[in-house]
Structure formats: C-alpha cells, structure tokens
Amino acid sequence: MHYFEWVDNETCPRGKQVVPGLLRRLRATKEEGRAKEEQLRAVEAKKKELQHKLQEMVQEKKVFEWGHGKDNS
C-alpha cells in the first residue's frame, strides 16, 4: 500500500495578510460577473420581446395599407 503525505510550509506573515483580501476580491468579481450575466439575459429577453412587437406592428401596417388601397412596393 502506498501512502503519500502532503505537507505545505506555513504561509509567511505577509501572505497571511494578503491572501484573504485577494480571495475576497476574487469572490466579489465572480459575483459581479454572475450579476452581469443575469442582467444580460434580461436585456436579451427584452430585446426579443421588442423585436416581436416590431414585427407585429410592421405586419399590421402592411394590412392597414393594403386595406386602404396603397401600393405596397
């Protein structure tokens, strides 16, 4: 049977000061990224909705113009 033991040296005092702040910034950046992705999904959904409404309005305009004898060229 093989047994491996991994032992790291203790982090230096400066590392103990710096690493927690870096981890906090990393977590905050990840959270900000998730929030931006959610915001992007909401904007894309609104864009799709507005494109659909525009398409409906264009179709209604064509029907209106056709019904009033205007040339559709």
Quick: pLDDT tens for 20-69. 999 999 999 999 999 999 999 999 999 999 999 999 999 888 877 777 76
Res 61: pLDDT: 85
User: 47 or 73: whose pLDDT is higher?
Assistant: 47
What does pTM read for this prediction? 0.58
Quick: pLDDT tens for 9-20. 889 999 999 999
DSSP one-letter string for 4-33: ----PPPPPHHHHHHHHHHHHHHHHHHHHH
Res 71: pLDDT: 54
Contact between 65 and 72 under an 8 Å Cβ cutoff? The reply is yes
Chain-centroid distance, C-alpha 18: 30
Res 52: pLDDT: 96
